[in-house]
């Protein structure tokens, strides 16, 4: 059997909504969706991202990822202000499929409470979550 195993980088943090969070500075993080999530979605054909300067609360909808078959919301894993967005996804939404942890990143947030990152799932916990689905 050719079952593909989803990549879950050790150094990232994760959410139950299948997003990854990477620290990029003392109070900033980069966010995207996991390899497992993109595999479940199938070919991503459209990504809707928030505008720069928007502030978001935990659990608030940040945007949408559309595949040919379905639409999924992207939820804010942490509270903060949107300080960067990956404009490449407008023209190349498939980067979410081909490089979910790299060029397929979605937004960067400046956090109100940088310590909140530590409360997210670590790679081992996320691995268990994804395996259980």
Partner 1 sequence: MESRRTPLHAEHEALGAMFTDFAGWRMPLRYDSELAEHHAVRTTAGLFDLTHMGEIVLTGPEAGAALDHALVGHSSAIGVGRARYTMITRVDGGVLDDLIVYRLGETEYLVVANASNAELVFGELVERAADFDTEVVDRSQDYALLAVQGPASTAILAGLTPTDLATVKYYASYPTEVAGTPVLLARTGYTGEDGFELFVAPADAPAVWAALLEAGKAHDLKPAGLGCRDTLRLEAGMPLYGNELDTAHTPYHANLGRVVKLDKPGDFVGREALAAVAESGVDTTLVGLRSEGRRAPRHGYTVLDAEGAAVGEVTSGALSPTLGYSVAMAYVARSSAEPGTKLAVDVRGRQEPVEVVALPFYKRAN
Residue from 7, 9, 43, 124 binding partner 1 (CB under 8 A): 43
Tokens of 26: 């003392």
Tell which one of 3, 10, 51, 118 touches partner 1 (CB under 8 A): 3
Instruction: Count how many residues are written for the chain.
Output: 133
The answer to whether the CB of 15 falls within 8 A of the CB of 73 is no
Residues touching partner 1, count (CB under 8 A): 17
Q: What is the C-alpha end-to-end distance of the chain, expressed in Å?
A: 19
In angstroms, rounded to a whole number, what is the distance separating the alpha carbons of residues 126 and 4? 17
> For partner 1, what does the binding mask look like between residues 69 and 108, x meaning CB under 8 A?
x-x-------------------------x-----------
- Tokens (6 digits) for 117: 């990152």
Tokens of 61: 């909808």
> Least distance to partner 1 from the beta carbon of 112, Å?
27
Closer Cβ to partner 1, 16 or 90, answer by number: 90
Determine which residue in the list 57, 64, 113, 128 makes contact with partner 1, applying CB under 8 A.
64
């Amino acid at each position: 059997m050719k079952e593909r195993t989803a990549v879950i980088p050790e150094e990232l943090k994760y959410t139950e909504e299948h997003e990854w969070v990477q620290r990029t500075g003392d109070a900033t993080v980069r966010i995207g969706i996991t390899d497992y999530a993109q595999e479940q979605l199938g070919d991503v054909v459209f990504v809707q991202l928030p505008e720069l300067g928007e502030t978001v609360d935990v659990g608030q909808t940040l945007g949408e990822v559309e595949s040919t078959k379905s639409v999924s919301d992207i939820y804010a894993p942490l509270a903060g202000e949107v300080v960067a967005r990956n404009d490449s996804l407008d023209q190349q939404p498939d980067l979410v499929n081909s490089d979910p942890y790299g060029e397929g990143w979605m937004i960067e947030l400046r956090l109100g409470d940088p310590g909140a990152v530590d409360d997210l799932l670590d790679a081992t916990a996320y691995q268990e979550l994804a395996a259980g689905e």
